[in-house]
Structure formats: C-alpha cells, structure tokens
Structure 1
Amino acid sequence: MTILRSVLALGVVLGCVGAVKREDFKTCAQSGFCARNRAYAELAKETPNWISPFQMNPSSLRLKDGILTGDLIDTQEEKQPSPRPGLAFELHLLDNDAVRVRITEREGVLPRYDGVQDTVLVKPYGMAKDSSYKQLSKDTDGVLSIQYGAQRQNTVKISSAPFKIEFLVNDVTTVVLNGEGLLRFERLRKKQVEEANEEGKLNDQEARKKEGEIKIEKSALELKLEENLWEERFKDSTDSKPRGPESFGLDITFSGINHVYGIPEHATSLSLKATKGPDAPYSEPYRLYNLDVFEYEVDNPMALYGSVPFMLGHSKNSTAAVFWMNAAETWVDVEKTAEDKNSGILSWIKSKKAVPAPSTKTHWMSEAGILDVFVFLGPTQRDIFRQYSSLVGTTALPQAFSIAYHQCRWNYNTQQDVAEVDAGFDEHDIPYDVLWLDIEHTNGKRYFTWDEAKFPNPTDMQQSLANKGRKMVTIIDPHIKKDDQYHVSKEGNDLDLYIKNKDGQSAFDGWCWPGSSQWIDFYNPKARDWWASQFSYDRYKGSTKTLFTWNDMNEPSVFSGPEITIPKDVIHHGNVEHRNVHNLYGTMFHSATAQGLIQRNETNQRPFVLSRAFFAGTQRYGAIWTGDNLANWEHLEIASPMLLTIGLSGIPFSGADVGGFFGNPDAELLVRWYQAGAFYPFFRAHAHLDSKRREPWLFGEPYTSQIREAVRTRYTYLPFWYTLFHETSVDGTPIIRPMFTEFPEDETVFAMDDQYMVGDALLVKPVTKPGITRSSVYFAGNEKWFDIKDYSVEQGPGIKEVASPSDKIAVYQRAGTIVPKRERPRRSSKAMEHDPFTLVIALDNRGEASGRIYLDDGESFHYEQGDYILHEFRVSQGVLSSHDLRTESKVKVSEYVQRIGALRIERLVFLGSKIALTKVNVGDRSLQVDCTHAPNGGGHVCTVKEPQVAIGESFSLSFE
C-alpha cells in the first residue's frame, strides 16, 4: 500500500501532459471559511439597509504615543445570554506615514496566533511623533478624526456606530475599511454540545435535536454560516480543526480607484479582474495559499507557489495600498463599481453629466490569526514602495553574477555532461554565468550529497567553471528522506527538528521525491541554525565558495498531502498549528538557507538562493521564479504581468523559466522567450526531465545567432541592471515597472501589461505571438524614444507600429535618460569586470538627460560600510557632469573599488541632438566627435571616443 501511494503521488507530478488537475485543489465553496465569509457578504447584499453589527465604544478610545486603542463590540454577540468580552482594537500611526489597524479577541477561549509580525516585519519600526499628528474633536455623528502625515495631508476617521474607518488624502476619501459592513470574526469557542454538557442543561441527543430545530428556522445563507465549522473533508483528507472556526473577513474599498494590482501569485492580468458583480470575468476569489500547481492555467485566480497579500490601487488622482499581514489561507474578492457611497469625488463623462467616480471593493477573508492590516496613502507610488519596504524589508543586493544568464534543466546528468554544456557555450560564443543541477545529481534524493558515479569530482567540476568566472547551483529541498543511514535524516531525528503530526509528538511523514520524507521545522530556532550549519564546507562535502543554492518544493509540496501540500493541523515548534503559518514556510526555509551560505565563508560573501515559494519579506533572502510554466505562447505572454505584479508587491528579483518548463518549444518560441527573458530581473532557462534538450545552439542557424544576440544584449546592460538592483535595495522601487508607475496620469496605460519599463529608461515590448514581425507599441509622454539597436526615434504619445523581426524585439531608451553599458562580448560577467564603459545619453527636448551608475566588488558585504561607487551623470546647458553621490564620503574605499572607479569611459553616445555636435571639451582638451543622422528623423547620433575620463571620477565635459 505504501509503495502504491508513492507511485500514485509521483504520478500526479510526473503526469505532465494536459492541463492542471483542478480537482486536486479547492474552490472557495470547498474551503469552509471562504464559503462562510462569502455567504455573509451575500447575506449583507440581500438584506435591505444592511448595517454592520460592529460598533466602537466611544468612551473606550484612547490615543497615546501614536496608538489609538478601543473596544469593538459585536452587537449580535451582546444579545447572547452570556456575551463575551469585545474585540480589542488598535490603530498605529507609524513614522513612515503608514497606518496599522489590528483587531483581535479580548480574553478568547484560546489565544489567536500573532507571530506573523515576528517573521515578516523588519524591526524595529517607529511610531509617529506626537507633533506629527493631531486629534480632532468628534463631530455630531461621533466620528473621531486624526490628521497625520508629513504635512498632515492625511486624515483617518473612525466611525463608532456602525464601525467604519475612512482614510482621506487632502479631504478626499481614498480607502475605506468596513464601508460595506462585512467585518466578521469567528470567535474561538467550544462546540455547542460541549457547552451544553458542561452546563448540565442538555444531553448529547437533546443538544443535537436543539441544534436541528435552530437550523430549521434559518435561511439558506444563514445555514451556510455554520457549515464546516469543526471538521472539514476534501477528497480523502480530513482537517481536524482542533481549535474550531477562527476565520475573519473585512471589506476594503479603494474609493475613486478602478484599477487595483498585486496579491501575487496568480497567472492573470496586471490590473486585477473582478470576481464579483455584473459581468465579472471570474467567479472564484483570488486565493493566497502556497501550492505546487504544475502546468498552471493562465487567466485564472487559482493559488500558485507564492503569496503576498499586498494590493495597490491607482487612479489619475490618487494612489493607495494595503498590506494584509496574515500567513494563513486567504481569499480576496474584487468588485468594480461606478457607484461609490463613501466618496464625493465626481468625474465627468462626455455628456457633461456628473457621475460618481468608479471604485473597487475588495473582500479579504483569512482562516486564522488576527486582523492586521497596513494602509499606505503615498501620496506617490514611490512613497508607497518606500513605506512598504521600510516595514517588510528591501531586496538583498545580490552578487553580480546572479543577474546575468543562468542555464538549467532537470537534469544535467553527469560531470561529463556539465563539461560538454559549458564547452558548448564557449564554442558558440554565448555568455553565461551559472550552470544548475537538479535533484538527479544527489545520491538517491538525499540533499547535501552527490551521486558519486555521475559526479565523482564535484570540487574539480566547480573549479573548472570558476576558472572561467562561472558558478554552479545545486537544488536543496526541505523534505528529508527517511533513512537512518543518511546523516541529515538521522541528525534531524536525534535533535527533534521535524514538523510534528497533530498529536504534537510524532514527526510528520509524507511523500515527496525521495519517497517517505520528513520536513524540517524552520519555526524552531535550533532547526534554523542546524540547517544553516549543513552548508559549511566540511559538512556539505564537495561544495565550494562558487556553489550556490536552489530551494524548490517549499510551499511545502507533499505529494501525499491534501492539495499536494502539508496538512493544516500539523504542529510547529511552540505548539503553532501549520494553518497559521503555511504561506510563510517557504520564506523561513529560504532565510535559513541564505544564513547558511553566509556563515560558511570567512570572506563576507553574499549568498545567492532561489526560492519557489514566497511571502512578504522573501526579498530579503534572494530571488524567486514563477514556477512550472509551459512551453507555449500563452505562458510567455502571461510571464510579463506575473513578474510585474510580483515586483510591485515588493519582490523585484524574479523571473520565469525561459522556454517554458513543461513541453518542447519550437525554435521561434524559444528565441522570442530569450529575447523577453533578457529583460527579466532573473534570467534563467529551465526545462523538464522529459523535454528535449534545448541548449541555445541546438536549433541551428539562424536561431543560435538570434539567441546569442539576446543573451549578449543582457550582458551589455549589466551595469544598468546592477544599478537598478542597488536602487531597489535602498528604497524598494521595482526594477521592471508597469507603465503606469512611470506615467501615473496617463489612463491609457493603467491596465497595460504587454509592455513595461526597465527602470525609468528602457521600454520593452516582448513578442508573445507566433509569426509577428511588427509590434504595436504605445509610446507614452510627450517625449522621444530611441530604438536601442539602430537609434531610430519614435515620438510619443501614441501607438506606433514598429519592426520586430525575428532577431529583435521592441526595446527603446527614453529621452532624458543616461544608461551605462559595457559593450565588449565576454564569456561571463566576471570576465567583464575590468572592461571600460559606454554611456548612452538620450537627450530630451530641452537637451537634458540624467542617469546613475552603482559599482562595488559584486561579491561581499563591504558595500554596507560605504565601499562602493555611486555616481550621477547629468546633461544640462551643454555640459555633461558626473558627481559622487556616496553618503559615506569619509569612508576610504578599498583598492579594488578604486581600481573599478579608475576604469575608463571609452565611449559617449549622444542621441537626439538637434544639431550635429562639433566639439567636446574636457578641461583644456578638445575631443573628436563623429555624428550621423539617426533613422526615422531622430536627429543626430554623435559619438565621442576615448573622452579620457573614468567611471568613478567626478568630471565636467562641455559640448557644442
């Protein structure tokens, strides 16, 4: 029976022909708490003059040190014979101008889990100073108002009866909590039968009879509110729910905002589609529950590998966001409406008739924990990114090699195979930086081991790659093969470091790649430290400092578990039920692995760890990717909105498997995917075990040359990419950006997700359909855009048909920007580190432009002590200048960074000059200028060779 179960479980994963098996995953109707909260919303909708039963006790409100506290009363609860204490309410005014709202039980039967903040939030965050906010007197309706913000431009209004919170910007309602009255809290309690028995009022039979009589008197919707409270079955699995029902829900309205974004991971559009209301494209809410969903469908709100409960809303007039800090299973309904009862904002249509501005109503439902939500009012998107990242952390600055090209498949089979693939890249002059090994490199799926027959000398293999500046990544998953002869398995048991069954005693046993397996409990501090120690060179035999790590299957994926994951009622360290922390498990694993890679070195080396599962905060530990996609055009097309959404939600270091994981792409699809992937933050090709080999040269010409050109394009822009990674590590700004983030007042781009910006400088439009040779590109703004290949120009705003032949996609540099490049083809990024630089200067209509470059050693943490170069380039009034932006100007940089700074700028390329430049002066030297006419009426392209200035030098250069 055990063997059969293993075979069937493996068959679920390996049966990779056809669509996702929807029956393996729950719908909202099959998820008890989702069904109950949705029924509550329907009950509210069908009840005339519905009013939230929750009221604030006005006399309980206290504001001190930036925290407002009070008692929230459920008036329905108050009608019970033995009412319980009300809910505890807190509103925190933070020093970053965000507001945190917390609601939980006061004196509950059992304490609710409140540990998510300990993992997610970067400590400490500060409270607003008393001088930065002002409490206003209550108005005649008993509404308490508080002004806050840098200029006190924001107001939060707390209405007592019914309970509602409004957030206003410059007196305009922007976000409303409980405006629709859908706040609902399932109080922790004992079963009715148990309560009756304790009171000695009824025996079991009478109690059940009484329950039946009560149900007869209730409506169908009211009956749904009592379904699956104490136990829940799905297929062959039973969730024991020992604590009973404890879910909660809340409606959040983005007032005057018709586009909302975020809540990854879903294979859907950037601007989230409605799940409720007339003509809603989806009937299911968006689900946030980390799951192993191979061959996932596109255009679907189903849960995938990661979850970030962050949502941003944007309109021409306002921007706002919320972060729902909860790691339990969560569902979100989205409803678009043109009717907004809470706002006085009016928009005018062509008939000049005033109508209420469109709004978006969202309904958030979580299974357990406490209600803990942050509200961000900007006022700009960059402000929101800064505010949000100050709480959950910014992206760790990666090693330089990790933003170059990675080559992977399941699996490179032997050490000889690795050598031949490595040689193939050199033979075909295609650069790459990292070669990956999947699970077959191990000894029987035992992580931290090698199959000695296939990989007899792993240290030599890594050294051979390192000699060319290349690295290796091996896969290490959280499931540990049960085997007393396997040192990792035995130590984990001896030290009691595994997740426990619901009894809290025995270790949970499930099935994954190795067969019978156990899962490390990363909520145990000893387990995290022990796991990190496994990466030391003396324990991970055959590893070197150029070997890095891939964390897969960490949702966690359990082939024998419900929905191919771990049961919710298993127990973590501290008697924490898994249902409370499910979406955080992958992040905890990611964190411990990154810790191990840091600890193994005495050389202060940054880690590189790729994770499949993710949550808010994952960005602090490494990169993620979009999981097991398919080799088809639909998955190429959906990759852009998925990556844009993930980046908006605080995790900018992300990518999609180039070529598609499942299946066999034809040559055209593969080329187009490389061209798109060259502009993903994480650029990796990957393929399934059963797919045909597809190394970049195997399709022959002209495809090899086209792929080579795409990969080389990535390498020429590595200085620009690295600068963007530094920027996001400082303030959380996404690396690839939806068009609306750069053009926030252009309503044309609010739902646009088939083209995007890389930083503020490059516009990218991938080709995502077969047979395309021309693309429709929207050029935003009243400015010029320059093709990066031939420097032809397009003038915005408007849609233009541009050439997209088989060897290129549409990529344009925005006027007014300066982009640093390195243009010499090399075999790896390491081989480029002493190459000179080119600055491409795209002048705007005023003859101005600006840009930056960030450089450090690309490997260590020395940059944290100021050992780096950060220069701003600016063109104004005929002068190109370079200025040092380092804030730690008194810190002496290392000799290495000084050498980098002394590298010369070998070429300046001026685009968009209205007249041909005739002279460029550096001090008392005059430099030669070569000018040509740009195609398509783009003015002049003027090149200055060898200006004899260094990349890390402050200089001033005039041109005429």
Structure 2
Amino acid sequence: MNAFTKFFLFLLFYSAIQPFSFAQTGVGKVRTVKHNNNTVLFSNTNADVQLEFCTDGIIRIRTSWNREFEENEPWMVSRYDWPGTDVEIAEEDDQFVLKTAKLILKVQKRPFQLDIYDTAGNILSSEDVEGIKGGFSRGNTVGSTKKLFPGEHFFGFGERMDVLDRRGKEVTLNVGRGLGRPHIVGAYNVLEANYSPVPFFMSTKGYGIFFHTAWPTTWDMGSGSDKAYSFRAENGELDYYFMYGPDFPSILDKYTSVTGKSPLLPYFGLGLHVGTYSGGTWGHEALTSDHYPVALVKKFRELNIPLDILHLDSTWRIFGKNGGSGATTFEWRETFKNPEAMFDSLYAQNLNMVGLHVRPRFDNGNKLNLLDQAREKGHTYPENGNPGEFVNFFDPESVDWWWENGAMRVAGIGAMFFKTDEGSAFGRKANESNKTGPKGENVKKLHNVFPIAYARAPYEKFAELNNMRGMNHTREGYAGIQRYPFIFAGDWPSEWQYFEPVIKAGLNIGLSGVGYWAHCMGGFEHDADPELYIRWTQFGLMSSVAHLFGMDHPTYKEPWNYGEEALNIFRKYTKLRYSLLPYLYSNAYEMYTKGIPLMRALVLHYQNDPNVYNITDQYLLGESLMVCPVTTKGARTRVVYLPEGNWTDFRTGETYTGKQYLNVVCPLDEMPIFVKQGAIIPSQKAVNYIGEETIDTINLDIYPHETSSFDLYDDDGTSTDYQKGEYAITHISSIRNEKTVAINIKTPKGKYKVPKRSYKVSVHIDKKPASVETNGKKSPVQYDEEKKVLTVLPDVKSNRDIRIIIK
C-alpha cells in the first residue's frame, strides 16, 4: 500500500469518526454592533447573534445563520413583552463589555465568544472551548458548546426516570416513551421514558438555560469530555434563555416567568383523586357499568376514606371503527345505561369533580360519526396529504368544533374535566395501535408542543363551562405544560424495580418548573404485592397530587383488595394528607407566585451540598417536610440523609443535627418523615371531602429555631379571583433565643375575608416552660413530657393579633 493510498484511507477513517466537526459552521468574527433599547445585535461573518435583555438576570440569546429570526411562538413561552432594562455597553480592543445590574457579559470579537460573569467578576458561563466556540450550525442542526467547569452539576430536563444529576450524561429529549413490544424491552424502559421532557437545566454554578425550541434536542453534559458540554436541536433556530439565580429557587422563578407560572388547582384538587375502569378494563369491557363508579365512591365513604375527585378511564366509551382504543368516539358504551343519572349519583355523594379519559383522535362510533364530520369540515390535522384523525388543537376553530360537537356531549351531563391521554402519538407511533399519525418536518417541529395545545383546550373550555379554575389530567408535556395542570407519570407496572424511578420522575420534573405531578400509586399494571402497595401509596399520598388508579382486573388498586392492614394504612395516610391541606395549599400559592414545586428534590434548597446530588428516594414536600419513601422490599430500617440544619422525626419527636446519615426504623405502617427546625406547619381536621364542614380551627405545629415564619394562604378555593388579588395572608412567625420563644400570629391581610377561626398551637420544645403568656395574660400550661410538645389554646380569635411568649 503506497503513501497516497494510506493517506486517502486515513481521510476516510477520520471523516467517518469526525463527521460533526468537519461540517460545523461557527458564528465567525464580529463585524458590526447595533443597540436598540434592550436588544443588542452582533452581525458576524457567518451569522447574526441577538441578545435580548428581558430583565437584568434573564437574557434571550438567538443566533441565525440566514440572518432572519423566527416569529415568536405561543406554546412554550407565555411572555415576550419584557420591560426595558438598563444595559451599559463599552467597546475595548478585542471585546465588548455589556453590564446589567446583575450580570457582566464579555463578547470576544475574533471569533465571537460570549462569556457571562456575575457583578463580582465570578465566571458563570463561558464559550472558551477548543474548536468552534459557542453557537454552531451543521446542515439543519443548530447548537451551542459551553465550557464545563470542575465541580459543575446539572439538574432538570423534565420527567426523566433514569438519573437526577446529569453531569457526564447524554440525553435526547423528544416526547414519548420507549417503543417496541414486549413492553418490558420497549415502553417499560426507564432510560427511554420521555413523557414530559423539558429542554431546560439548572447548573450548580448558579445559572439556568432554557433551549427555546420544539425540535428534538440532544444534550451532551460532559459524556465525551470533562472540558465542555453542548446542546443541539435537529432543526430550527438557535434560541435559548440564560437565567441567573444564583440559587435554584430564583432560577425556577425566572424560568417560569418565561414559560408561565402554574395556576392554582381548586382547593379540592389537593385531595384524593381516584381513577376507575368502571368494572371492566381492556378485555373485560362487558363488565363495565354506570353502577360501578357509584358503588366505588359509596365504599370509600362507608370506609371513612376521604375522596374528592373521580375519573372514568377509557372503557366508558365504545372503541370506534377506525382508531379502535386509540381514538375517542364520545359515544357511551352500551353497558352505561344512564350516564347522566350516574353523574347525578356521584355528585350526590359529594364528589367535587368527575372527569373522563379521552384521546386526541376523533373516531366514528355506532351512532356518531364525528370523525367523518370533522374531516369534512377541515378540523383534523392532515396526514400524508389526506384528512387525518387528530383534532387540530393548534387551530382555535377546530378546538371550538371539538368542544361543541364532541366534548359537550359529556360535559353537558356532568363531566367536569378530561384526562388527556396519548398526546405523544401526534407524529409518533401510538402506544395503543400501530398508527403513527401525521408525518413530515412540520409535524416533527409540532410533535413536542402538541401535548400543550391538547391540554390547553379542555383546561380552558372546562374552566369557562364550570365557572371555576381549570383542571386537566394529562400524561405528556413539554416546556410550558405547567400552565395546564396536572401531569401524571404514565403506566408503570406494579413492580419494585419501577418504584424509585417513578419518584425520580417527580423530582426531575419539579426541577423543571412543573409542580403539580402525580403517578399511579401502587403501580398501574400487574398485581401489586401488598407490601409494595402499602409503600407506594404512602409515597403517593405525600406527593404533590395524590392519584390512585390501576388497570389490574379485578383489584384496580382499590385499598380494600390488599388486606385489612393495607386498608388501614391507606386510610391513615389519606387522613394525614387531608390534615395537611392548609400547608399544601399555602405552598401551592408559593408555586403560583415563585415557580417552586410542591415536591422538591433536596438539591433545590441545598445545591452546594454534593451529598444530595444523587438522592432520589427523599424529597421535601413544601419547604419543611422531608419525606423518605421505603423502596426496598422487606425493609424495616432505611438510611436517610439529613441536610444542613436540625431535623425532627415526625413520628418520635426526636431531633437530630444535619449533615449526617441516619439509620431509621420504618415499620410497615410508617414512612419516615422529618421536619426541618424552624418549621411552622398549619393543619386542620381531616374531612371526608372538601366542603363537608367549615374549618373553624387551624392547628399550628411549630418547631422553633432562631427566626422563622410561614404565610398561611386563604382564598375561596375555586374561582380565579385570587389572580385579581382576592386572597388573604396570615403571617405567622417564631423567634427563639436562649430565654424565650415568641410566636406571633397576625390577623389575615388581604381582600379575601377569612371566616373567624381559632388556633391550636403545638410548640415542640425540649422541656416544660416556666410560664406561657398570650397577649400579656398567663395561659395554662399543657406539656406532654413523652412527645415534648407544649399545647397552647389562645382564647383570642383570628380577628386579633396573637402573641405568645414562652419562658
């Protein structure tokens, strides 16, 4: 072999292993700069880069190789009209320096390179990498490369079930779950599960990046090199937002300022949700009836298990002639003799909402031909040049037609929300059939945002019809889905191997701006052994949304089917959840205002503690309760990690210092829960359904530690008036020093008039105090030596400030 042949083969080999670098085009050198209000445009030799300063801590960075920028889209981002922010620009020999009140940007001229610092001069993000710096293009692919710093870790990326900390990992984000059968190698693949990906991450360096694209994206967070990370999309514009924290809650606040805050669910939406196949899951459809849901709710009531919301899953309707089980006819199965009377009977048992499962395709039934009608009128999305089956949820007129001619057939007789299933089937093979729906580049671009349009339609329509806050129950989502709550984790089998990955999914999606999240507690498919059922439902009842549902015939995850012990434990934790509703609702309001999820991975509040980076079986529910599910079969102890601070065992009352691992006892009827010192936790009597009785006493469990506070939130629980300021805040504070504990309960402040109520104050302190005064008068001392709890019953109602001094 001569030298020329060797060289030619070397080139072939090198081009085969380096295809990406050969065809990449960078931004080039800076030629001109234009500054217009809060926008700075750099025209470079290969591409234009536009920096839009949305706020002093949010920058939108767009790069176009054809020098045109795309129109703003309405699905992912909810806000584009940012007020102007002051930007100082200075030119130096080799760079431009741009300054806001929180950030310093340095733009190198030759070639263009963007580095971002905080105002103290600490580097946050850099494009100082080998090869092409920053933005790049390769064919239709666009992306960006950034420097990977030592000790930098990444969190977010949506509802992922594989890992929490993404440093050193690569992932592709595209809505769907694993394909292929049998499910065990396809859909039941925690590595591929992608029900609700979100192209957003937060870095422990103190910033976040939201890649504003609907195209499938790939993120290499250092899998191939410990020097750089990159993200790229298959097509479209390179458009991303840089958000400065530096703490994770501040980053989430900024991300949800861009993509939208999660509105409040109705108050009863924080109660128990139950799904049912009405007596007959797939293959047993003949056993369904309109009596089964009524009897089901009656049994919950008889067994004194709180319940507020029911949904009927897919077997309420006949499966159509064209799409089978994968489409919606809006025609009741013949076994449902009188659906309207069924709804009446359900609401007569004091359910607050009843909903139905739907899919996004129209179908023809035995009596209704909605598919034919929708196609004729142009309300389905085209498939391969022909009228399709999917409702065109991107088109308002098609949404109106779907609502008036399909949805209102059930909404008009009692359905109050939908479970919008199979949003991933638009442009991708469906789980329930071999159909793939529409294809093409435009469909590929719309695939990821289809679940948002799909969830938005019933959310808004039902809110208007019901004259109350909307609620939608959906499986798939993408950036912005938090505006149409809520998401559930999908159809994971009742097996121990899937239990912790489901917890992981909830933690990851919470770190991605989605705060209302549920799962099928106990697992969805297959029979659960009673121990797994107990452990999973303990976790589920302390999740952000408590949702019980299974397709295993005939048990259906109903608690009485798993033995007396399981039934009692289920009832115990359901009542615990209902007692904590004031705490959960107040934290839900914080989610609405700040974007902080109800269920929080420990890293959200302890981002500088590497010990929490891979903890996937503990989380904070709200800011003060740390929940530790037991995910190992047969375990009667488990190891927990206590972050910085002091923590009190919720069950025993014993207090431990943080920054340590602890082995705790966890009998089958107990899931370890720890309370953060300084916590103020409001609770109430556990009712059987929201609205059963007026709550006239709020319990306050206070764990005094230095200075702490809690804002107890109240509104009417159902309307959207809270968005107009119709709410009230009761500020509660605790100050502890060496001699005293001072507790202040202020009168409610705000436009909403809180009914007069009493307080029961339980103060967790180590010894009986010498004296207790309430508003200057001595109070009787009630101290439990065993539980180490002081109980104070102020004789002052909530219409006056209350001050308790404990000495």
TM-score w.r.t. length of structure 1? 0.75
- 1:477 pairs with one of 355, 359, 366: 359
Deviation at 1:764, TM superposition (A): 0.9
Deviation at 1:155, TM superposition (A): 1.7
Deviation at 1:830, TM superposition (A): 2.8
Deviation at 1:562, TM superposition (A): 11
- 1:781 pairs with one of 644, 648, 672: 644
Deviation at 1:934, TM superposition (A): 4.7
CA distance in 1, matches of 2:137, 2:401: 39
For residue 292 of structure 2, give the secondary structure of its aligned residue in structure 1.
helix
- 1:724 pairs with one of 542, 564, 587: 587
For residue 253 of structure 2, give the secondary structure of its aligned residue in structure 1.
helix
Question: Is the Cα contact below 8 Å between 2:762 and 2:790 reproduced in 1?
Answer: yes
CA distance in 1, matches of 2:16, 2:482: 35
Identity of aligned residues (%): 20
Instruction: Tell me the equivalent position of 2:451.
Output: 586
Deviation at 1:660, TM superposition (A): 0.8
The alpha-carbon distance between structure 1 residues 393 and 97, as it changes in their structure 2 partners (threshold 3 A), is same
Instruction: Tell me the equivalent position of 2:209.
Output: 322
Question: Is the Cα contact below 8 Å between 1:147 and 1:156 reproduced in 2?
Answer: yes
- 1:451 pairs with one of 314, 318, 333: 333
For residue 501 of structure 1, give the secondary structure of its aligned residue in structure 2.
coil
CA distance in 1, matches of 2:15, 2:458: 42
Question: Is the Cα contact below 8 Å between 2:748 and 2:754 reproduced in 1?
Answer: no
- 2:124 pairs with one of 174, 184, 190: 174
Query: Tell me, which stretches of 5 or more residues in structure 1 are unaligned?
Result: 1-38, 74-85, 188-245, 276-283, 341-360, 509-517
- 1:768 pairs with one of 631, 653, 658: 631
The alpha-carbon distance between structure 1 residues 618 and 560, as it changes in their structure 2 partners (threshold 3 A), is closer
Write out aligned runs for 1:789-808 (5 A): 789-808=651-670
CA distance in 1, matches of 2:376, 2:668: 59
- In the TM superposition, what whole-angstrom CA distance separates every residue of 1:305-351 from its partner, at most 9, and x where no partner exists? 2221001111xxx32110001111222222169965xxxxxxxxxxx
Instruction: Tell me the equivalent position of 1:549.
Output: 418
Deviation at 1:495, TM superposition (A): 2.5
CA distance in 2, matches of 1:403, 1:96: 36
- 2:514 pairs with one of 634, 640, 651: 651
Deviation at 1:597, TM superposition (A): 0.4
Question: Is the Cα contact below 8 Å between 1:558 and 1:566 reproduced in 2?
Answer: no
For residue 355 of structure 2, give the secondary structure of its aligned residue in structure 1.
strand
CA distance in 2, matches of 1:437, 1:763: 33
For residue 464 of structure 1, give the secondary structure of its aligned residue in structure 2.
helix
Amino acid at match of 2:216: E
- In the TM superposition, what whole-angstrom CA distance separates every residue of 1:158-200 from its partner, at most 9, and x where no partner exists? 223333221222322222347354643245xxxxxxxxxxxxx
Question: Is the Cα contact below 8 Å between 2:159 and 2:506 reproduced in 1?
Answer: no
Write out aligned runs for 1:306-321 (5 A): 306-314=196-204, 318-321=205-208
2:146 is equivalent to residue 252 of structure 1: yes
For residue 117 of structure 1, give the secondary structure of its aligned residue in structure 2.
coil
Instruction: Tell me the equivalent position of 2:108.
Output: 159
Query: Tell me, which stretches of 5 or more residues in structure 2 are unaligned?
Result: 1-13, 280-287, 321-327
2:758 is equivalent to residue 904 of structure 1: yes
Question: Is the Cα contact below 8 Å between 2:697 and 2:757 reproduced in 1?
Answer: yes
Instruction: Tell me the equivalent position of 1:955.
Output: 802
Write out aligned runs for 1:849-888 (5 A): 849-876=708-735, 878-883=741-746, 886=749
CA distance in 2, matches of 1:41, 1:817: 59
For residue 249 of structure 1, give the secondary structure of its aligned residue in structure 2.
strand
The alpha-carbon distance between structure 1 residues 127 and 464, as it changes in their structure 2 partners (threshold 3 A), is closer
CA distance in 1, matches of 2:601, 2:672: 16
2:10 is equivalent to residue 145 of structure 1: no
- In the TM superposition, what whole-angstrom CA distance separates every residue of 1:856-884 from its partner, at most 9, and x where no partner exists? 12111122232222112101253211236
CA distance in 1, matches of 2:629, 2:15: 43
Question: Is the Cα contact below 8 Å between 1:441 and 1:451 reproduced in 2?
Answer: yes
2:402 is equivalent to residue 402 of structure 1: no
2:194 is equivalent to residue 304 of structure 1: yes
> In angstroms, what is the RMSD of aligned CA positions?
3.0
The alpha-carbon distance between structure 1 residues 536 and 627, as it changes in their structure 2 partners (threshold 3 A), is closer
2:371 is equivalent to residue 489 of structure 1: yes
Question: Is the Cα contact below 8 Å between 2:125 and 2:147 reproduced in 1?
Answer: yes
CA distance in 1, matches of 2:350, 2:599: 30
For residue 769 of structure 1, give the secondary structure of its aligned residue in structure 2.
coil
CA distance in 1, matches of 2:453, 2:434: 16
The alpha-carbon distance between structure 1 residues 851 and 768, as it changes in their structure 2 partners (threshold 3 A), is same
Instruction: Tell me the equivalent position of 1:507.
Output: 387
Question: Is the Cα contact below 8 Å between 2:417 and 2:459 reproduced in 1?
Answer: no
The alpha-carbon distance between structure 1 residues 805 and 435, as it changes in their structure 2 partners (threshold 3 A), is same
Question: Is the Cα contact below 8 Å between 1:755 and 1:765 reproduced in 2?
Answer: yes
Amino acid at match of 1:543: I
Instruction: Tell me the equivalent position of 1:379.
Output: 246
Question: Is the Cα contact below 8 Å between 1:869 and 1:952 reproduced in 2?
Answer: no
- In the TM superposition, what whole-angstrom CA distance separates every residue of 1:458-477 from its partner, at most 9, and x where no partner exists? 34434433542443121122
Write out aligned runs for 1:618-629 (5 A): 618-629=481-492
Deviation at 1:378, TM superposition (A): 1.1
The alpha-carbon distance between structure 1 residues 458 and 920, as it changes in their structure 2 partners (threshold 3 A), is farther
Deviation at 1:127, TM superposition (A): 4.8
Question: Is the Cα contact below 8 Å between 1:262 and 1:646 reproduced in 2?
Answer: yes
Amino acid at match of 2:47: L
Range with bigger deviation, 736-745 or 476-485: 476-485
For residue 710 of structure 2, give the secondary structure of its aligned residue in structure 1.
strand
Deviation at 1:395, TM superposition (A): 0.6
Question: Is the Cα contact below 8 Å between 2:311 and 2:355 reproduced in 1?
Answer: yes
TM-score w.r.t. length of structure 2? 0.88
Amino acid at match of 2:422: M
Instruction: Tell me the equivalent position of 2:88.
Output: 134
Amino acid at match of 2:444: R
The alpha-carbon distance between structure 1 residues 541 and 290, as it changes in their structure 2 partners (threshold 3 A), is closer
- 2:176 pairs with one of 278, 290, 305: 290
The alpha-carbon distance between structure 1 residues 692 and 818, as it changes in their structure 2 partners (threshold 3 A), is same
Deviation at 1:903, TM superposition (A): 2.5
Instruction: Tell me the equivalent position of 2:162.
Output: 268
Question: Is the Cα contact below 8 Å between 2:310 and 2:355 reproduced in 1?
Answer: yes
Amino acid at match of 1:525: P
- In the TM superposition, what whole-angstrom CA distance separates every residue of 1:348-402 from its partner, at most 9, and x where no partner exists? xxxxxxxxxxxxx332221222111111121222221111111111111101111
Question: Is the Cα contact below 8 Å between 1:263 and 1:649 reproduced in 2?
Answer: yes
Instruction: Tell me the equivalent position of 1:230.
Output: none
Question: Is the Cα contact below 8 Å between 1:385 and 1:732 reproduced in 2?
Answer: yes
CA distance in 1, matches of 2:72, 2:498: 33
Instruction: Tell me the equivalent position of 1:465.
Output: 347
The alpha-carbon distance between structure 1 residues 487 and 55, as it changes in their structure 2 partners (threshold 3 A), is closer
Amino acid at match of 1:63: H
Range with bigger deviation, 913-922 or 801-810: 913-922
Write out aligned runs for 1:35-50 (5 A): 43=18
2:600 is equivalent to residue 743 of structure 1: no
Question: Is the Cα contact below 8 Å between 2:43 and 2:49 reproduced in 1?
Answer: yes
Instruction: Tell me the equivalent position of 1:217.
Output: none
Range with bigger deviation, 826-835 or 400-409: 826-835
